[in-house]
Amino acid sequence: MSTRRKDILKELELIPLWCSRKKTQCSHFSEVPSPPIDVIKDRRSQILHSDWVHLKTSVTRCTACSLSKARTRTVFGVGDENADWLCVGEAPGGEEDAKGEPFVGPAGKLLDNMLEAINLKRGKNIYITNIVKCRPPDNRNPDPSEAQQCEPYLTRQIELVKPKLIIALGRIAAQNLLNTSSTIASLRGTLHEYLGIPLVVTYHPAYLLRIQPDKAKVWEDLCFARDAMQTMS
């Protein structure tokens, strides 16, 4: 930068707090450095070696992404920690954020009814959690970076529960667990795998509250999951 240009920018009070327009992120007009790779690896390693107590504490204290700034409570998970069945949703909503428990609003009541249809009951042989543990603002979908920060927590939950079968509830859950951009329509009716565990994809209960005719499709998916579980027994 020429001396003349520096003088002009200084007069306009654009330096030393100036940065090039080519920079994509600025804090006080300067780049915010990302955490060192070894710090990221150390955090992941600690999470993946946690027991239930330390894992829950780690989630409660987590500030790894911006979702932590607006949350009321973290929403860890609920249910039988030695369950054969695991349901993974997308993200907490308003009621979940207030109570600290997943699926407690209208979508949660529908989920309970769905589970009862195949003789399952919340808290008995089933564990329920989400891709992310904090509520996204305005109930938007969690973005990939937020899901990535929460991924070690979910991975460790699954390792601790050791379920025989996972049900992915909704597009966000399915795409994150299966590392795909495929639609739910194309993923339904097939037995997938996550960490070597059979996985079935179906619609999220919140979606069914809006598009009720698709409840029949969910019933098909649940029957498919039940039959797969019986085959494994």
The phi, psi pair for 174, rounded to 5°, reads -65, -45
Give the per-residue pLDDT at 41. 76
Give the per-residue pLDDT at 40. 72
Give the per-residue pLDDT at 152. 97
Q: How many CB atoms lie within 10 A of CB 67?
A: 23
d(CA 35, CA 49): 21
Three-class secondary structure assignment of the chain: CCHHHHHHHHHCCCCCCCCCCCCCCCECCECCCCCCHHHHHHHHHHHHCCCHHHHHHHHHHCCCCHHHHCCCCCCCCEECCCCCEEEEECCCCHHHHHHCCCCCCHHHHHHHHHHHCCCCECCECEEEEECCCCCCHHHCCCCHHHHHHHHHHHHHHHHHHCCCEEEEECHHHHHHHHCCCCCHHHHCCCCEEECCEEEEEECCHHHHHHCHHHHHHHHHHHHHHHHHHHHHC
205 touches 117 (CB < 8 A): no
* Banded pLDDT at 36 (limits 50, 70, 90): low
d(CA 131, CA 124): 21
What CATH code would you report for 35-232? 3.40.470.10
**In the predicted structure, residue 2 carries a pLDDT above the cut 70:** no
**In the predicted structure, residue 15 carries a pLDDT above the cut 50:** no
User: What confidence tens digit (pLDDT) does each residue in 159-215 have?
Assistant: 999 999 999 999 999 999 999 999 999 999 999 999 999 999 999 999 999 999 999
| Confidence (pTM) | 0.82
207 touches 214 (CB < 8 A): yes
User: What confidence tens digit (pLDDT) does each residue in 163-179 have?
Assistant: 999 999 999 999 999 99
d(CA 43, CA 159): 17
Instruction: Please tell me which residue, 9 or 75, carries the higher pLDDT value.
Output: 75
Q: How many CB atoms lie within 10 A of CB 155?
A: 15
Share of the chain above pLDDT 70, in %: 83
The phi, psi pair for 168, rounded to 5°, reads -90, 120
Which residue is it, tokens 């027991």?
51
Domain ranges of the chain: 1-33, 35-232
User: What confidence tens digit (pLDDT) does each residue in 106-138 have?
Assistant: 999 999 999 999 999 999 999 999 999 999 999
Share of the chain above pLDDT 90, in %: 80
Mean pLDDT, rounded, of the chain: 88
CA 75 to chain centre: 10
Give the per-residue pLDDT at 21. 39
